[in-house]
Structure 1
Amino acid sequence: MAAVASRRPPEGEGMVLPRWLKIGLVLGAFSAPVWAHRPVSAAKQAHRLVLYRALRDAAGITEGHGRRVVYDLFDPNCPYCHILYEHLQGLIKPYHLTVHEIPVAYLTPSSEGKAAALLEAPDRRAALRAAQSHYSWKTGSSIAPRRPSAAVRKELAYNLKLDTRIVGFPLVPILVYQKTDGTIRIVNSGAPPVWALKQMLAGIKQ
């Protein structure tokens, strides 16, 4: 969600977002990139490890079959989530990634219905790819929203709870992965440029 990104929505074509989200984007423009290394305490690392393990139970869409595992928390209507998704696609094979795309739904009124449509699709990966390939800066993900079942609503609630616990409040996109030294990294700086992603992905535990 932060405004630090490799590119922005075309001028005049942004979605109608809540006022609080617009304020967050503006404030994010003045924050330092979070993909830079920042030491954290042992207690915080222990907390991150608990959250990292909990992400294994999150409902999502898996892409790739590599040894390096990344969790990407996204909202179907988030423009920076879309940019990050595009960046990751070209890195899955060369960096031997398994990317778990974890949908959360809170940015816009149609977010929940679109996230539900992804999770209830017969082929989740195909549905996600189609939705992202036809992404609109005005309306977000192209997938048609649907009323979530009770089971899917519970899964989305779990995903959002984890998302909120990771940084203390709802935020997307968020990347979570384990480094070669066992520590858990959390990247919540919008869509990092490809060069920054390459540096991060090279340090993921295999």
Structure 2
Amino acid sequence: MTTRRFALTFLATTPLWLTACSKEEASSVPTASRIETAQAFDTLAAEAKGFTAGALMSAQTVYVLFDPQCPHCSHLWEASLPLHTKIKFVWAPVALLGPKSLPQGAALMQAANPVEAMGAHEKSLLAGQGGTAASASIPADIEAAIKANTLLLDRLGAESVPYIVARNATSGQIVAKAGSMDTPALAEFLGLARP
């Protein structure tokens, strides 16, 4: 995989309309390998590796590809919390934004309680404290899973994180969106009644 450079705009200078961390370079994934939106949900269900949060027995699953260093991903995590009683989220870490992304993603995936670890990580990141401390020693299978998630993000044609894929509960259509949103907007995007 080629080395990628990504821009992380500091929140203090971020326009209100910018709700995602974007990459500077275009994807190098061949068009033939791209995943169309209609197939995105099934592909992520089969291939994405992460941890589950929310209503584990829910029939509705939402996939979120996120970078542990992305503040917009942190905001989406916070916005998703009120919906955890209604739907299941699968949070699949990717490594896009810097050297801490892979180790922090690995730490979250290996945590005894990933939901609790994610909550603490996101609070630390939003407080400007850098997130979870993580070991540079990453098991090969976890590293491979995060790299595969990152490739999935490219194959989806996503230009930024967080990247959300779900089946809208009202329309039944597969929906995909890059960027964070508040709880009411997330509920609407997912076809849920307002929280």
- Corresponding position: 1:69 with 2:58: no
Which residue pairs with 2:167 in the alignment?
A: 178
Deviations 1:144-197 (A, max 9, x none): 34322211111011100111122354x211111012444211111x32122211
Equivalent AA in structure 1 for residue 70 of structure 2? C
In proportion to residue count, which structure has more strand? 2
TM-score (norm. length: structure 1)? 0.70
* Alpha-carbon shift at residue 139 of structure 1 (Å): 4.2
Q: Report % sequence identity.
A: 27
Aligned partner of residue 156 in structure 2, secondary structure: helix
Partner of 2:186: 197
Helix, strand or coil: the match of 1:167? coil
Q: What CA distance in whole angstroms lies between the structure 2 residues aligned with 1:200 and 1:77?
A: 24
Residue 7 of structure 2 is aligned with which of 16, 20, 31?
20
Q: Deviations over 1:82-104 (max 9, x none)?
A: 011001001221xx110111111
Q: Look up the match of 1:82.
A: 74
Return the TM-score normalized by structure 2: 0.73
Q: Which runs of 5+ in 1 are unaligned?
A: 1-17, 34-45
Counterpart secondary structure, 1:101:
strand
CA distance in 1, matches of 2:70, 2:101: 9
Q: Deviations over 1:98-131 (max 9, x none)?
A: 0111111110211111111112223323322222
Please state how far the C-alpha of 1:53 moved relative to its aligned partner. Answer: 1.3
| Structure 1 position 133 matched with structure 2 position 123 | yes
Paired amino acid for 1:83? H
Shift of 1:61: 1.1
The structure-2 alpha-carbon separation of the partners of 1:146 and 1:125, relative to structure 1 and needing over 3 Å to count, comes to farther
1:84 aligned partner, one-letter code: L
Q: Deviations over 1:2-56 (max 9, x none)?
A: xxxxxxxxxxxxxxxx773439xx89866799xxxxxxxxxxxx82233321212
Note the 1:99-138 alignment, pairs <5 A. Answer: 99-138=89-128
User: How far apart, in 1, do the equivalents of 2:19 and 2:125 lie?
Assistant: 28
The whole-number CA distance in structure 1 between the counterparts of 2:7 and 2:123 is 28
Q: Distance in 2 between matches of 1:164 and 1:63?
A: 24
8 Å Cα contact 1:112/1:145 also seen in 2: no
Distance 1:70 1:156, change over 3 A: same
Contact 1:62 1:98 in 2 (8 A): yes
Stretches of structure 2 lacking an aligned partner (at least 5 in a row): 21-34
- The separation in 1 between residues aligned to 2:105 and 2:7, in whole angstroms, is 21
2:48 pairs with one of 47, 54, 58: 58
2:37 alignment counterpart: 48
